[in-house]
């Protein structure tokens, strides 16, 4: 992203990152002054989880605030590369991978989210199990698909898409 693409008047917000201060400048929901696609956080942090969190935040700004999903997905993927257990970035990547039918990439992310799932939100858990069932089915892992759909059914026996897949 070049400076000319995201520039004009700007307001700066300061975000602490590992005791250093980094300014993220926005202008009517546009970035200025940084080329994020070539960011190197090694000078800011040596902790992969912190780097992952930084990439997640940048991805979030691109996708949620700027509407630039391609850059958002790129940074969410970098977040996962640095921390495969990043539960903030994973749902956005799963949504993208499911939409683009990238089952092989969505499956491990869903498995990771389900391993970390504490059951606080049964609707979210049901959605993850259902999506895992779809991925497994598309990848011809029938037994795994059946198990995932059964878990989704246990969480919500009225969820029509799950019922349809179980029939």
Q: What is 33-80 written as a DSSP string?
A: S--GGG--GGGT-S-HHHHHHHHHHHHHIIIIIS--HHHHHHHHHHHH
- The pLDDT tens digits of the residues spanning 67-94 come to 898 999 999 999 999 998 899 999 999 9
Residue that wins the pLDDT comparison between 74 and 1: 74
Predicted confidence (pLDDT) per residue in 111-138, tens digit: 999 998 888 899 999 999 999 999 999 9
Interatomic CA distance for residues 105 and 110, integer angstroms? 9
Q: What are 5-52's pLDDT values in tens digits?
A: 443 323 333 344 433 333 343 433 444 334 444 455 544 556 888 899
Predicted confidence (pLDDT) at residue 149 exceeds the cutoff of 50: yes
Pairing of strands 31-32, 20-26: antiparallel
Residue 50 or residue 146, greater confidence? 146
- SS3 label, residue 31: strand
Three-class SS of residue 89?
coil
- Interval 47-64 mean pLDDT: 91
Q: What is the CA 7 to chain-centroid distance, rounded?
A: 26
The DSSP bridge partners found for residue 34 are none
Residue 159 φ/ψ, nearest 5 degrees: -70, 105
CA distance 67 to 69: 6
> How far, CA to CA in Å, does 6 sit from each of 17, 33, 48, 85, 103?
23, 8, 28, 31, 33
Please give the average per-residue pLDDT across 83-110, as a whole number: 94
| Whole-number pLDDT of residue 27 | 37
Would the pTM count as exceeding 0.85?
no
């Amino acid at each position: 992203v070049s400076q000319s693409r995201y520039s004009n008047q700007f307001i700066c917000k300061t975000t602490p990152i590992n005791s250093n201060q980094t300014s993220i400048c926005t202008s009517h929901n546009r970035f200025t002054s940084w080329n994020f696609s070539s960011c190197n956080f090694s000078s800011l942090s040596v902790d992969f989880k912190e780097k992952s969190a930084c990439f997640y935040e940048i991805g979030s700004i691109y996708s949620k605030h700027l509407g630039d999903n391609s850059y958002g997905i790129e940074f969410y993927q970098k977040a996962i590369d640095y921390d495969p257990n990043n539960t903030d970035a994973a749902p956005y990547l799963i949504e993208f991978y499911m939409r683009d039918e990238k089952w092989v990439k969505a499956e491990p992310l869903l498995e990771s989210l389900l391993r970390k799932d504490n059951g606080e939100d049964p609707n979210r858990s049901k959605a993850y199990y259902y999506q895992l069932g779809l991925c497994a089915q598309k990848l011809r892992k029938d037994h795994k698909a059946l198990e995932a759909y059964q878990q989704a059914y246990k969480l919500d026996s009225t969820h029509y898409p799950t019922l349809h897949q179980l029939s």
